[in-house]
Structure 1
Amino acid sequence: MCEKHNILTRNIKGTYLFAKTYPLIFLRITLVFFITLSVIAYLSVNVLASGQTTSSKSFLSGQEDVLTKNDEPVISEIQAPVYEEVKIAEKRKVDEEQRLAEVQKKLAIRQDHINRINNFLIRKRSPVANTNIAEILYDLSVQYGGDYKTLLAITGVESGFCAASFSYNCFGFLNGKKYGSYEQAFRDIVPKVIKNYLHRYGSTNFVSIAKSYGMVNWEKGSSNLAMYYSQV
Structure 2
Amino acid sequence: METTLVFFSQLSMCESKEKTFFKLVHGLGKEETSKEAKIRAKEKRNRLSLLLQRHEFHEGTHSSTSGDWAKHTRVSPEEAVKWGESFDKLLSHKDGLEAFTRFLKTEFSEENIEFWIACEEFKKSKEPQQITLKAKAIYEKFIQNDAPQEVNLDFHTKEITAKSITQPTLQSFDVAQSRVYQLMEQDSYTRFLKSDMYLDLTEGRPQRPTNLRRRSRSFTYNEFQDVKSDVAIWL
**TM-score normalised by the chain length of structure 2:** 0.31
**Which protein has the larger Cα radius of gyration, Structure 1 or Structure 2?**
1
RCO comparison, higher one (Cα < 8 Å, 6+):
2
Structure with a larger share of its residues in helix: 1
**TM-score normalised by the chain length of structure 1:** 0.31
